[in-house]
Structures are given as C-alpha cells and as structure tokens.
C-alpha cells in the first residue's frame, strides 16, 4: 500500500481515538456533576481519620444516605459504628462483644441496618447474651482492619472476638490504594497509579463500551465481560478478576495479596497477644458465581492463611454455589445482590448472617465490666 493511504488511515484512527477519549471524559464529567448532591450528603457522615484513613462520623442520623440512586437510613453510635440507632457505647460492656469489620459489603450499603448481616446477627445473638458491633466502612482493606482494631483496643474498647469479612476487592486496595506510613504508623493514600493513555482511553471509551454492550447481548455471561448493565461500576471486573485472570494477578494481585497477608498477620498477632479470637470470612462476588470460580484463590488463600495463623475460617462460597446449583445463576444473583450492583441485598445479608450465626464460636466474657 502506498504511503498516502497509510497516512490517511493513521490520521483517521488517531482522530477517532482522540474524539472518543474526549467524549468519554466529557461523559464522566457530566455524571460527576449529576452526583455532586449525593457527594455533599456523603461528606456529612463519611469523614477522614488521621490514624486509619477514613471512618463514619459518630452520633450521626440521616434518612438520606446514598448509594448510587438508592436512599437509605443510616445511624451511627458514639464509636462511629453503623448501628440501629444513635446511642452511646461504653468502653466496657456487661456482655461479651463480637466486633465485625470489613468494607462496604459489611457496612451494608443501600440497606437499612436492621436488614444488614450485622443487624440480623445482632438480633440473633442477643438471645445468647452476646453483643455485636459493626466497625466496617466502605473501602476498608486489611491495612485499615489492622490499624482500626489496634486503635480501638489501645483506646480501651473491650472486644472479646473479631470477625474480619475479607472482600475480593481488598487485594486491589492493598496494592494500589493504601499504605501504612513507616514513620507515623498511620494508614495513608498510596502513590497514585499512573495510567497510560491507552489504559485511560480503554476505561472511558464510549466506542469500547458500545462494543462491550453488544458482546453481552451475544454472550451475556462471557468471562470477565461484566454481569450487570452498562454504566455500573466501570472497574468491577478488574477488582474481582484477580482470582482467575493471570493478567490481573500480575498487574496488582501478587503485590496486593502479599500486602494483605502481611497486614492481616499483624492483626492476628495483635489479637493473639490480647487473647482475642479471630475469625476470617470470605465470600464470592456475583462475578465469581458467573465464572464458576468454585476453587477460588480468595477461598484457598485465606483458608491456608487462617490455618497458619490459628484463626477460625468461614467460607460463604459453598452456600451461594449451592443456590446456583439448586435454583440457577440468574435467580441466585437476583435474590442475593442489589440489582445492577455487587453488594448484598437484604436477602443476601440474611444468608450471610445465618451462616455466621451457625458457624461462629461465641466468645465468653474475658473482662470485668
């Protein structure tokens, strides 16, 4: 082919990519502007923390907490934990306490507290004379689990057992989002990952999104092809994909798992020194269900880690895959996850709470009220 036609083709390819990239960035700017009101509301109850990065504001009440288009009630207690009501939690209680900690799943985004796993579990264990506290917050990961629990016990908050619900996305957060400062020992933002032009274009491209949507119409459950409607959680597959994808594993999975292991090991040592039992819980995202990721790295890695560190281990992979086998994939996802999202619905929270109630070893009082 002559040089002239080649140059013309190159020009139009570059022009198409440039226009597509600009259109994608413009689209995201419009979406950010449309979501500004929700972000302002969130800043009233999602606050920075100088020791473990971020938290929920204590003693806060709103009926307009937002998760995407969902408005839901949110109450926090005096410790800044999500709770059924604004209330004062004494440093030392009169009954044994289980502390739950995890990320947005355990916090219970989009769901009233009484319909979250923590709410269901609190009512169930109340009859057994055990209190449940929920220290989970959106976008937590092992660095924050360790440092927040350390902060609480050093502040004199009595805890008799800790349950960490490890999320699939924790690995990416450990690799790319947070780090523990070597001087202060506090959790801070990790240096920003600098995306290449092509990575940025692929993330924002309107053309690629249209092609992806068309592919989903042909193969709606294609591996790593997404499982929800377009416009929902752009990085969702990347955040979950390390359990199966060698490319995602190389990009951040190996580093993230090593950091998660290190920070969880420090948490385990902290709790052992205080004779506080630790339980580790893992669960699949809808993607793991779609990909038939039954022998998931998320499960096998943390099962092995728990055996090494003397922690109890609970996997929710089997109960959810049992539903897939009995009722089908689509019905299982529709029942247990919020529509168009990866987080648990009220039914999903109920399933999690039932499994925990059946499998948790209840703590005995180890302190004097």
Tokens for 52? 């473990």
Looking at the fold, whether 131 and 157 belong to one and the same domain comes out as yes
Q: Are 144 and 153 in contact (CB under 8 A)?
A: no
Residue 60 shares a structural domain with residue 89: yes
In a domain, 271, yes or no: yes
- Same domain as 114, residue 143: yes
Band the pLDDT of 159: cuts 50, 70, 90: very high
Range picked from 28-42, 192-206, 247-261 for highest mean pLDDT: 247-261
Residues 138 and 275 in one domain: yes
The predicted pLDDT at position 361 comes to 87
pLDDT digits (tens, 9 = 90+) for 128-142: 999 999 999 999 999
Residue 365 lies inside a defined structural domain of this protein: no
Confirm if 71 and 63 have CB atoms less than 8 A apart: yes
Q: Which residues pair with 74 in a beta bridge?
A: 62
Whether the pLDDT of residue 341 is over 80: the answer is yes
pLDDT at residue 204 in the model: 58
Question: 263 and 339, same structural domain?
Answer: yes
Select from 176, 118, 109, 170 the least CA-distant residue to 144: 170
Report pLDDT for 369.
Answer: 45
Split into its structural domains, the chain has a count of: 2
Burial zone of 72 (CB within 10 Å; 0-12 exposed, 13-18 middle, 19+ buried): middle
Q: Which structural domain range is residue 19 located in?
A: 3-35+195-218
Distance CA 134, CA 309 (A): 23
Joined together, the tokens standing for residue 73 give 């009630």
Q: What is the mean pLDDT of residues 47-52?
A: 97
Separation of alpha carbons 352 and 87, rounded Å: 25
Q: What is the pTM of this model?
A: 0.83
For residue 312, give the H/E element and its range: strand 312-315
């Amino acid at each position: 082919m002559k040089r002239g036609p080649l140059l013309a083709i190159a020009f139009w390819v570059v022009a198409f990519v440039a226009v597509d990239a600009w259109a994608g960035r413009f689209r995201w700017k419009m979406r950010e502007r449309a979501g500004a009101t929700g972000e302002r509301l969130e800043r009233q109850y999602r606050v920075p923390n100088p020791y473990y990065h971020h938290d929920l504001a204590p003693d806060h009440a709103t009926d307009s907490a937002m998760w995407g288009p969902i408005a839901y009630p949110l109450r926090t207690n005096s410790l800044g934990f999500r709770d059924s009501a604004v209330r004062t939690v004494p440093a030392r209680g009169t009954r044994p306490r289980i502390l739950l900690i995890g990320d947005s799943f355990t916090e219970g985004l989009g769901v009233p507290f009484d319909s979250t796993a923590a709410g269901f579990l609190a009512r169930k264990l109340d009859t057994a004379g055990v209190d449940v506290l929920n220290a989970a917050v959106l976008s937590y990961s092992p660095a924050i689990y360790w440092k927040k629990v350390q902060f609480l016990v050093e502040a004199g908050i009595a805890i008799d057992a800790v349950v960490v619900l490890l999320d699939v996305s924790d690995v990416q957060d450990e690799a790319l989002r947070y780090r523990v400062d070597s001087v202060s020992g506090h959790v801070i933002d990790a240096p920003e990952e600098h995306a290449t032009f092509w990575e940025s274009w692929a993330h924002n491209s309107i053309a690629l999104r249209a092609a992806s949507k068309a592919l989903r119409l042909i193969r709606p459950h294609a591996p790593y092809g997404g499982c929800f409607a377009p416009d929902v959680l752009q990085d969702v597959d990347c955040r979950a994909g390390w359990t199966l994808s060698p490319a995602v594993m190389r990009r951040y999975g190996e580093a993230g798992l090593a950091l998660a292991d290190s920070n969880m090991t420090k948490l385990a040592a902290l709790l052992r020194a205080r004779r506080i039992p630790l339980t580790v819980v893992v669960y699949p995202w809808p993607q793991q269900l779609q990909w038939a990721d039954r022998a998931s790295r998320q499960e096998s890695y943390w099962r092995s880690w728990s055996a090494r560190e003397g922690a109890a281990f609970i996997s929710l992979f089997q109960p959810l895959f049992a539903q897939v086998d009995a009722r089908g994939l689509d019905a299982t996802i529709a029942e247990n996850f919020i529509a168009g999202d990866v987080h648990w619905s009220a039914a999903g929270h109920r399933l999690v709470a039932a499994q925990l109630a059946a499998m948790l070893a209840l703590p005995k009082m180890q302190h004097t009220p």
